[in-house]
Structure 1
Amino acid sequence: MDKRHILMLLAVIVISVAPLIIYSGHGEDDGYFGGADDSAGDAITETGYKPWFQPLWEPPSGEIESLLFALQAAIGALIIGYVFGYYRGRGESSE
């Protein structure tokens, strides 16, 4: 292995392990790793906003909600990948 590869590998390890050491034992209850969605939702409810309508269907659990979100992201990635591949293939075939 080249010296440069070893340095890059060490840098990746340090970048991956440093947050685990710095924030060990802390969680969302302590205010760490809270998402922007939670902060925005709390800020909106503090204003007294009342939603105009309710969702048509509420997923039965958080796992199913995550599954649907991942499925939506995968479908979007497939479409974007297909479009990029199509135009790249079309560009190579015309040369």
Structure 2
Amino acid sequence: MNKSKGWLNIFLILAVVVLIVLPLLLVKNSDFGGADGVAEEAISEVAPEYKPWSQPLIELPGSETESLLFALQAALGAGIIGYGIGYYKGRSIRQECSDEDSA
């Protein structure tokens, strides 16, 4: 791979990261809540005296960010699993071809 394609790939990855992070930081007052909010309500009903042991490192604006982060996590995991399957499949095909050539 030549250097210009390498820089283009890095630029595209950074552009995707910026497109993901900017809405998380800029969109305020969203109205979608995730499972964490429901769990918090259930805990406060069962044990109203409960105090959390830790606080979040960063407060994201808007509750739809939970859904976005979950989707990103799922997409990243699927990408890693797909890459691994493709890598091992390609390796086995390469090995079969080299076995046929040597025979």
Give the TM-score, by structure 2 length: 0.47
Which fold has the larger relative contact order, with Cα–Cα distance below 8 Å and residues 6 or more apart in sequence?
2
